[in-house]
A = this chain, B = another copy of it.
Amino acid sequence: MVSCKAEDEFIENFGLFMESHSIFPRIAGRIYGYLLICSPPHQSAKDLVNRLRITKSSVSSMMRLLLQSKLVEEINLPGERPRYYRIKERGWENIFLENLQAFSAIRALLGEGRSLLDNREAEMLDRIEELDELYAFFEKEMPPLIERWKKFRKKEIKR
């Protein structure tokens, strides 16, 4: 339950970052930030309550978010009753991958819009096709990018 100013600042900034990018509520961001730097890397709900000065109901609901999005995982320590929480490996990586689905979703939508403009002069189509091409490009480029990432990651692990 030791706290220090630099840590507090990091935790707070992390929470603010997550909130301002509307990724997660502030408290969820603070929990995640703390789990990135705490020792040991696993902490109980009670630890979080004490360290972050938040209520246990906040921990409960925010932790549900973090667990659902698979950024944090639960562990049990033998002989200890409380659950512990820690950063889950590859959390963000997996979220990135899942988000690629949004590309196909918006392209499907744009296809609907495109069909409303059938039999129009080409100029009428430009605005919607420009957007569709952007997403088509990403759909094409993302899989190889991911492959490069996987190689990159393996190299880093060996290091």
Contact indicator B137/A17 (Cβ below 8 Å) = no
Contact indicator B116/A137 (Cβ below 8 Å) = no
Question: What B residues does A96 contact at CB under 8 A?
Answer: 134
Contact indicator A37/B109 (Cβ below 8 Å) = no
Contact indicator B109/A133 (Cβ below 8 Å) = no
Interface size on A, residues (CB 8 A): 47
From residue 138 to 159 of chain A, which have CB atoms closer than 8 A to chain B?
141, 145, 148-149, 152-153, 156
Q: List 13 A-B contacts (CB under 8 A).
A: A17-B106, A21-B102, A33-B113, A36-B113, A36-B131, A37-B113, A39-B120, A87-B127, A90-B130, A92-B131, A137-B149, A137-B152, A141-B148
Name A residues whose Cβ lies closer than 8 Å to a Cβ of B. 6-7, 9-10, 13-14, 17, 21-22, 33, 35-37, 39, 41, 86-87, 89-90, 92-93, 96, 102, 105-106, 109-110, 112-113, 116-117, 120, 124, 127-128, 130-131, 133-134, 137, 141, 145, 148-149, 152-153, 156
Bound together, the chains give a CA A153 to CA B109 distance in angstroms of: 21
